[in-house]
Structure 1
């Protein structure tokens, strides 16, 4: 297994993995997510692949087939009176094919993201996890992440 930058040839596999992630989210929050859809279209993925501030890293097997990905975004803290400026590397999405889980691919992707963040001069790596996605929460905690802030909602409107 190797981690590399995503290429256009990876889009069909990335779309399959995006479907898997969406289904997890739809199972947790059917009030928000639509089953059978994906977060991005083929055209949107092509555009993201061109954006150096939104890298996609893929884990590929010996046949160079994508078995996992990490969508990332370089974010800069805007200048403000009460905060020092800093850069964050935000993991927008991380997925390992359900058929390939348990092989430490997610750990390898996460370690690659951390190295990339350090190379880009980032202060931190951040991400969001939906409440109810306990397997993701446990995974990220094993990777050394901890809760930074909690977003709350009120939906009885």
Structure 2
């Protein structure tokens, strides 16, 4: 594997992160018939970079951005045992770098930041038909929790 480093995202990364966002959309479009056509925006990337309750990181190989992810400190529902949790999003690895466990490096870095913030729980959303992502998250230690269902009417 190439020498991969993890660092905090910054505004100089914006152009590449916008490309990554469209990569996420392209990967998820076949998994979700409810997604609209054309270019979609999931994230407010400048806010992710600057928000105090978000740790937004990138994976870098030889000065090239090859992956991303963030952890947002979020309030839990009042009936959960942990008052706050870390919500993970925007996990993306460039196709040419997949299979090298870069997502694990990103997840491990986010988990370590969450521990520094004294969080006791991490959550994320993944499409139920995204078998490769589910396998990767389960290998990292995540377990399935709640299933979101919908119907066209």
TM-score (normalised: structure 1): 0.86
Structure 2 residue aligned with 1:76:
75
CA contact (8 A) 1:25 1:33 kept: no
CA contact (8 A) 2:55 2:110 kept: no
Deviations 1:62-110 (A, max 9, x none): 22x21100022101225x4x54443211112201111111222111001
The total of aligned residue pairs comes to: 150
Mapping of residues 45-84 of structure 1, within 5 Å: 45-63=45-63, 65-77=64-76, 80=78, 82-84=79-81
Match of 2:138 among 119, 141, 148: 141
Distance in 2 between residues matched to 1:98 and 1:68, nearest whole Å: 10
- Aligned CA-pair RMSD: 1.7
> Are 2:12 and 1:9 aligned?
yes
Mapping of residues 127-138 of structure 1, within 5 Å: 127-138=124-135
CA contact (8 A) 2:56 2:70 kept: yes
Structure 2 residue aligned with 1:19:
22
Question: Structure 1 regions of 5+ residues with no counterpart?
Answer: none
Distance in 2 between residues matched to 1:116 and 1:74, nearest whole Å: 10
